[in-house]
Amino acid sequence: AQSVAQPEDQVNVAEGNPLTVKCTYSVSGNPYLFWYVQYPNRGLQFLLKYITGDNLVKGSYGFEAEFNKSQTSFHLKKPSALVSDSALYFCAVRDSGNTPLVFGKGTRLSVIA
Amino acid sequence: DTEVTQTPKHLVMGMTNKKSLKCEQHMGHRAMYWYKQKAKKPPELMFVYSYEKLSINESVPSRFSPECPNSSLLNLHLHALQPEDSALYLCASSRDSSGGANEQFFGPGTRLTVL
């Protein structure tokens, strides 16, 4: 069975500082990993995904994520946070078969000016 | 067009009403999904349509009835709902449902309140 853990309910960071939102996963085969962001009263927006290849994945709005197979992690990062990055972030995983996407519980990011 | 649209944005209904949620995409995607999301929680998968056929039903109560009239449209028919069904209902689409690497594109959701 697939699972995703986002260990932090809330992450606070000052504007201009680097941010990290953590995600660890468990799948039986090769993972496909995704990050989505959700602003209040909106749907989820796709940020980036890891399929295979380079462990550092670059996505929308300056976000990137690092796939670490030995630590089964896929942490989301940004070098310099903006107040407008404040939102709810979801990590998700599925394996290479025909299985549904499994979401983590979400991490609320708050960037303080 | 890289957008998934959903109507209505908001819906208030009584427990005896019948209503429908609508979802549309014009990206040529062959998989479409319904999710239910409670406040501050992750989306919960309800249904998956693949090539206009229902492929996954996550044990959803029969008061929710999905329909896929064609490859661009997805409906969710609601009847005799309970107050606990109040939530944000999200529609999503992806190129297909079998490729694990295909990201899903989400609509803005319908905020449903059941009185």
Per-residue pLDDT at B1: 61
**pLDDT over threshold 70, residue B99:** no
Per-residue pLDDT at A65: 98
The percent of residues in chain A predicted with pLDDT above 70, rounded, is 98
Per-residue pLDDT at A40: 87
**Of the candidates A32, A43, A98, which has its C-beta nearest B90's C-beta?**
A43
Per-residue pLDDT at A97: 67
- Check B106 against A43: CB less than 8 A apart: yes
**Of the candidates A41, A44, A98, which has its C-beta nearest B98's C-beta?**
A98
The percent of residues in chain A predicted with pLDDT above 90, rounded, is 81
**pLDDT over threshold 70, residue B111:** yes
Per-residue pLDDT at B2: 66
Contacts of B60 (CB under 8 A, 6+ apart): B46, B47
Give chain A positions within 8 Å (CB) of B97: 98
Amino acid identity, position A36: Y
**pLDDT over threshold 70, residue A5:** yes
Reported as a pLDDT band with limits 50, 70 and 90, residue A46 is: very high
**Number of inter-chain CB pairs under 8 A, A vs B:** 55
**Of the candidates A44, A49, A97, which has its C-beta nearest B43's C-beta?**
A44
Exposed/middle/buried for residue B61 (C-beta within 10 Å: 0-12, 13-18, 19+): exposed
**pLDDT over threshold 70, residue A85:** yes
- Check A94 against B41: CB less than 8 A apart: no
Contacts of B31 (CB under 8 A, 6+ apart): B48, B49, B50, B51, B93, B94, B95, B96, B97, B102
Per-residue pLDDT at A52: 87
Region of B51 please: left (phi>0), alpha (psi -120 to 50) or beta: left
Tell me the mean pLDDT in the region A51-70.
94
pLDDT 10s digits, B36-71: 999 989 999 999 999 999 998 999 999 999 999 999
Region of A57 please: left (phi>0), alpha (psi -120 to 50) or beta: beta
The single-letter DSSP state of residue B100 is: T
DSSP sequence for chain A: --EEE---SEEEEETTS-EEE--EEE-SS-EEEEEEEE-TTS-EEEEEEE-SS-SEEE-GGG-EEEEETTTTEEEEEESS--GGG-EEEEEEEEESSS---EE---EEEEEE-
